Amino acid sequence: MKQKYLIGVDLGGTNTVFGIVDSEGNIICEDSIKTQSFPRIEDFVEACAQSVEPLIERVGGKELIGGMGIGAPNANYYTGSIAEAPNLPWKGEVPLAKLLSERLHLNVVMTNDANAAAMGEMIYGAARGMRHFIVITLGTGVGSGIVIDGKLVYGSDGFAGELGHLIIDRSADARLCGCGRRGCLETYCSARGIVRTAQEQMEAGCPTLLSGVNELSALEIYKAAKQGDAVAIETFRRTGELLGAACADITTFCSPEAYIFFGGPMRSHEFIMPHIIKTYNAQVMPIYRNRCKFLLSELMDKNAAVLGAAALMA
């Protein structure tokens, strides 16, 4: 194949990172710009071009580039647009894929971060060789990318795959979610949700090393768990149980070969994963029991967002 490189773009609220990726998933070279410095989308597109064109020249020119993939918040694969992303400077619907494609004369596709993460795992990570799997990303929120028969599920409108917003708690006092509803998986299993699970135990008076921590975070809870702290361990147990219960429901939908977990809180996988697996197999419909793999992302120590974006074009 002549086109030996792909461009991956990780468009975030702070930085927009460009990477040239080879067929083995190595990032050959990269650059970045400050997203917030370009309140006009035209200026942002021009800045992207000026950042990425030197990278393209460095690896041998445009003929060697198979295309550009972008992972961005609120991005829609079908329209190639970003719509009303709260942390990005542009209002309304921004047809970024088209604008960049016209400026760079490259094929450009765009999707949201979690979908890009799923493609990254399939092409370069833990899902190599799989055709049916789900990536669940734990971070500020809980995102998901669903792959069925080797293809990302975008749904009728490009908004499929919001498994962080499965209702996992239907009680009246379930936690309130940023989406305006109560009981979403995200309110319990995002980094913030995990912190809250610890806080609730602290407020109930459970003794814990975490009382001495200034700013509670998933990482601080992890450190406490490593020291045997009961509240920290219990926090991850509950997190794992809810993820396992959610996966048991999700399996009735598409019976995946594997669930792959990604994101900061999964640094604590030793405390979370056993409870995901145990709860899943206890709660899933018997025909599915003990048949599904639960894996950790293989891209957590790499630039997963850039690799995932590049993988969209693979």
DSSP state of 305: H
Closer residue to a copy of itself in complex, CB, 18/259: 259
Closer residue to a copy of itself in complex, CB, 156/214: 156
- State how far the Cα of 257 lies from the Cα of 293, in Å rounded to an integer: 6
CB of 175 to a copy of itself, least distance (A): 15
Instruction: Calculate the CA 10 to chain-centre distance.
Output: 11
Strand bridging mode 5-11 / 15-21: antiparallel
Q: Which residue has the tokens 């609120």?
A: 74
CB of 281 to a copy of itself, least distance (A): 12
Buried (b) or exposed (e) across 7-42, using 16+ Cβ within 10 A? bbbbbbeeebbbbbbeeebebeebbbbebeebeebe
Q: Give the pair of three-digit tokens for residue 312.
A: 């969209």
CB of 245 to a copy of itself, least distance (A): 8
CB of 311 to a copy of itself, least distance (A): 19
Closer residue to a copy of itself in complex, CB, 67/145: 145
CB of 171 to a copy of itself, least distance (A): 9
CB of 109 to a copy of itself, least distance (A): 16
Closer residue to a copy of itself in complex, CB, 90/154: 154
Which amino acid is present at 253? F
Closer residue to a copy of itself in complex, CB, 25/145: 145
CB of 187 to a copy of itself, least distance (A): 13
Closer residue to a copy of itself in complex, CB, 103/182: 182
Closer residue to a copy of itself in complex, CB, 109/254: 254
Closer residue to a copy of itself in complex, CB, 105/170: 170
DSSP state of 221: H
CB of 306 to a copy of itself, least distance (A): 27
Contacts 24+ apart (CB under 8 A), 227-234: 230/206, 231/198, 231/201, 231/202, 231/206, 231/207, 232/198, 232/208, 232/271, 233/271, 234/201, 234/206
Contact 125, 256 (CB under 8 A): no
| CA-only gyration radius of the chain, Å | 20
Residues at the site binding a copy of itself, with contacts judged by CB under 8 A: 131-132, 146, 148-149, 151, 153-163, 165-167, 169-170, 179-181, 245, 248-250, 252-257, 283, 285-288, 291
Contact 2, 66 (CB under 8 A): no
**Exposed/middle/buried for residue 86 (C-beta within 10 Å: 0-12, 13-18, 19+):** exposed
